[in-house]
Structures are given as C-alpha cells and as structure tokens.
Chain A
Amino acid sequence: AQRVTQPEKLLSVFKGAPVELKCNYSYSGSPELFWYVQYSRQRLQLLLRHISRESIKGFTADLNKGETSFHLKKPFAQEEDSAMYYCALKKRDYKLSFGAGTTVTVRA
C-alpha cells in the first residue's frame, strides 16, 4: 500500500526551540513527497517538496529512503509557524495520499 503516516497529532514547542514533524511512508520505488501547511484561516498551501531540496521559511525536509521517512525540521521555531502540517505522497497514479496531519503550536 502507498501510505503516509504522521504519528504526532499535536506538537507543542517553545519559541526558539527546534521543531521536528515526523512523516513515514510506505512506497516501493522512488517516492515523490511533499509538505503542505495550513495556517489559521488560510488555505492549504505547498510548503516544500523533496525534489526541490529547498528551505522554505527555515524548514527543511530530507528524504531518507532507508528509514522511509521525510521528517520536517526547523532549528528555531517561531510563533508564526503555528499551523496544521500535512505530509503527502504522490502515488503512481499521480494522486496525492495525505497523512492525518500534525498541529503545531509554538508558545512564546
């Protein structure tokens, strides 16, 4: 099965602390993975994709094929990072399979 698992429903960190959101996937072959973010009262938007190997808003995510993971990390969390984060996998039929999401709260 081509599936994404986000084991943490809620994540709370202090401002300035590192934050890591876990994402594990099951997929045979070369996966295409994404992180989407939904800020309060805003629409869901693409944060980053593993193909681009970019850093957006200080976030990075590295694809680890050995551990089948695509964890999202930021070394110093900011209050504006509080949001719902979804990990997504593009399946062979090009449909997106989303994880259940992680709600991040950054406290002052």
Chain B
Amino acid sequence: DGGITQSPKYLFRKEGQNVTLSCEQNLNHDAMYWYRQDPGQGLRLIYYSQIVNDFQKGDIAEGYSVSREKKESFPLTVTSAQKNPTAFYLCASSINGMKETQYFGPGTRLLVL
C-alpha cells in the first residue's frame, strides 16, 4: 500500500505554467499509469507505461506529457495546453504489465490560481 507515493499532495498552477506531478513506486512493478479523477466522471486514463523508456497515450492525453526513464518513476507534466487542469490525479502501478491488478497512490490535487 505505501509502495506508491505521489507528491505533492496539493499543487497550484498559474496560467501558462507547466507543472510536474511525481509518482514513485518501490514495488518493482513494470507498468505504471496516470488517471484523472473528476466528480461524476470516474477515472480517465491519461498515459500509461508498460516498460521503462516506453509509454502510450490513454484516453485524454492532450495537454499532458510523461517520461519513464526509471522503472520506479513515472512523472506527469501538466502543460499550459491543458485548459482544464483542475482535478485529482492518481498514479497506479501493476506487476508484469497491464493484465495484473493495479495499485493506486494517494493522489495529487491540482488547482489553478
């Protein structure tokens, strides 16, 4: 449970600013994911990565970017192109790829100033 950490807990973004959300896991999981959680809409997949140095767009990738340089880290950048960034962002990971159960981090709430 405590193997997936996200920071910061709260993040404020100014207009035109890029911000980066951190996700780290020490579970030795291969796959990692970023979701956006909005009230009344459930979770929507932004990006996912099945292996180091590889990642794929999810359902709502526009305005976001990711990297996967290390197995344990999958940072998400919310760019200025994302016009409605205010949301709760959840990171998840799973062992041995996407067939396995996903375990979630505690989340980061992003607010726009």
Contacts and interface: CB of A to CB of B under 8 A. Distances in A.
Interface stretch (B16-24, B71-79, B95-103): B95-103
Contacts of B102: 46, 96
A86 B58 contact: no
Contacts of A45: 1, 103-104
Interface residues of B, number: 21
Contacts, number: 43
Contact of B42 (A42, A43, A93, A101): A101
Given A43-B105, A43-B107, A44-B90, A98 B43 contact: yes
Interface in B22-51: 40-45, 48
A44 B98 CA distance: 17
A101 B104 CA distance: 16
B106 interface: yes
Among B45, B48, B90, B104, the most chain A Cβ lie within 10 Å of the Cβ of B104
Contact of A98 (B42, B98, B107): B42
Interface string A35-56: 0000000111110010000000
Shortest 9 CB-CB contacts between residues of A and residues of B: A94-B98, A98-B42, A44-B104, A98-B43, A100-B42, A43-B106, A43-B104, A101-B42, A99-B42
A9 interface: yes
Contacts of A100: 40-42
Given A6-B42, A45-B103, A95-B45, 7 more contacts: A43-B90, A45-B1, A86-B42, A95-B48, A95-B58, A100-B41, A101-B40
Contacts of A96: 43, 45, 102
A94 B1 contact: no
A86 B43 contact: yes
A48 B42 CA distance: 18
Contacts of B40: 9, 100-101
B21 to A, nearest CB: 15
B99 A94 contact: yes
A44 B104 CA distance: 6
A46 B98 contact: no
